[in-house]
Amino acid sequence: MTLQSLLDLVVTTLRGDLRCESIADVETQAFSEGKFFVKVRAQVREELFLQVRIYHNQGHYDYSYQLFADRPLTRWDNKEDCPGLENFPHHRHLPDATIVASSLRGDPAVDLPIIVREIQESIPVTKEVKCE
C-alpha cells in the first residue's frame, strides 16, 4: 500500500458508502516509502463528523476512527492500552466511556466498511449529498 492508495481508499469508501457532506484531507505525511500517515475528516451530516487517522509502517496499521459532534461520540482504535479484551488490541470507546472489543482487524480495506455500516446502523444517514 502507498500513501496515495490509502488516501484513495479512505476517500472512496467514505464518499461511496457514507454519503458524506464533505471530505477533507486534513494531513498526510510520508516518512519513507513504506511508512506514512493519513488523517481525513468527513462530514457525515450537519454537526456530525468522522475522523480517520491511519499510520502505516511496513504493512502494519495503527488506526483511530472517531465519530464526533461537539464532543467525541465513539472511537475505534488499536492502541495497546486495553489488554484482556477479546481481539486485543482492537477496541471501541463507547459514548458512556465503556471500552469494548471491536471486530476490526487493522486492515483499512476491511475495517472501513465495518465502521461505515456501524455508523449507518446507529445514526440514520438519509439524504444524498455532494462530496467535495
pLDDT, tens digit, 9 for 90 and up, residues 90-129: 999 998 989 999 999 999 999 999 999 998 888 754 444 3
CB atoms within 10 A of CB 87: 13
Interacting residues of 106 by C-beta distance below 8 A, sequence separation 6+: 60, 61, 63, 78, 90
Computed over every residue of the chain, the mean pLDDT equals: 88
Which string of b and e fits 26-62 if b means at least 16 CB within 10 Å?
A: eeeeeeeeeebbbbbbbbbbeebbbbbbbbbeeeebb
The verdict on residue 24 lying in a domain is yes
pLDDT at 16: 84
The verdict on residue 106 lying in a domain is yes
Q: How far is CA 42 from the centre of its chain?
A: 10
pLDDT at 83: 82
pLDDT at 27: 94
- Rounded to the nearest 5°, which phi and psi values hold at 54? -135, 130
Q: How far is CA 17 from the centre of its chain?
A: 13
Number of domains making up the chain: 1
Mean pLDDT of all residues in 24-53: 92
Q: 7: domain range?
A: 3-122
The verdict on residue 50 lying in a domain is yes
pLDDT at 53: 97
The verdict on residue 127 lying in a domain is no
For the CA atoms of the chain, what is the radius of gyration?
14
The verdict on residue 130 lying in a domain is no
The verdict on residue 28 lying in a domain is yes
Q: Tens of pLDDT along 55-75?
A: 999 999 999 999 999 999 999
The verdict on residue 92 lying in a domain is yes
